[in-house]
Amino acid sequence: MVRIGAFLVGLFFAGWLFISFLIGAVAYVSEPPVPTVEHEFHLPPKHVSFSFDGPLGKYDQAQLQRGFQVFKEVCSACHSLKFVAFRDLAALGYNEAEVKAIAKQWAIKTPSVDPATGEASTREPVPSDYFPKPFANNVAAAAANNNAIPPDLSLMTKARHHGSAYVYSLITGYQAQPAELLKEFPDSKTPEGLHYNPYFANLNLAMAPPLTAEGQVTYGDGTKPTVDQMAQDVAAFLTWTAEPKLENRRRAGLATIFFLLIATGLAYMSYQNIWADKKKAA
């Protein structure tokens, strides 16, 4: 009796799911989704190559240092790196003295208040400190950025599909709205204070173009600082902040695959050796 009851319950739910599927299919055919401006004009990330692409790819330390310079001189005015400590920069090739010198360029706010000015006190950072936020809180961040709170960039390339290419495309993708867009969707004009970018999900974002001219950052290694080069460099740096152990993970994966191949071969040979006489006897 219990089995019959369970069968009937299962049959009821299966039938209900099938009916729901049919209702949804009929609704989709009779009333197809209305095309939106986002679906029509949103573009996939541009194709761009990085040294760390592929299973054998590795970070280019020189590029990561250039990317950090772009972040420091351009992006850090609005964006934070709350999951990255100053001492982590040693992985980019900076020595201990250089890491300490970089840390001194920031100020760490303390809970105490300066009695003379009423402002929050600050202290000199140490390598173990994490990069401080550029704004005291979200209210201050929104007030300084057209009511938009700049996101933390520590894990941005992990949070977006094709993260490295997405960051590069977004930075280099600012443009005027296409005439076809305004013709097809006349109510979709970019609002005042926003900027049109087809690589952003809803096409309009509050962040102004961060890289606007060649030479905006001066590279110490002599690399020509074009907008395209700076965008690639900062995208590579943000990939490292999201995956600092990328190379170690890939090496471990390759070693594991190599080990499993050898173990599989040894297991097969052992099988053949142990069961060879048994097969003949059978």
User: DSSP characters for 107-158?
Assistant: -EEEEEE-TTT-SEEEE---TTSBPPPSSSSHHHHHHHTTT--PPP-TTHHH
- The size of the chain, in residues, is 282
Question: 78 a known binding residue?
Answer: yes
Q: Is 162 annotated for ligand binding? A: no
Q: In angstroms, how far is CA 196 from the centroid of its own chain?
A: 21
User: What's the chain's Rg over C-alpha atoms?
Assistant: 28
Residue 171 · residue 226 · CB < 8 Å: no
Residue 166's contacts (CB-CB under 8 Å, 6 or more residues apart) are 45, 157, 160, 199
Q: Is 242 exposed, middle or buried (0-12, 13-18, 19+ CB in 10 A)?
A: buried
269 is in an annotated binding site: no
Q: Dmax over Cα atoms in the chain, in whole Å?
A: 97
Token pair 């950072």 is found at: 125
User: Alpha-carbon distance 220 to 52, whole Å?
Assistant: 22
Burial (CB count within 10 angstroms: exposed 0-12, middle 13-18, buried 19+), residue 228: middle
- Residues marked as binding for heme c? 75, 78-79, 207
- Residues marked as binding? 75, 78-79, 207
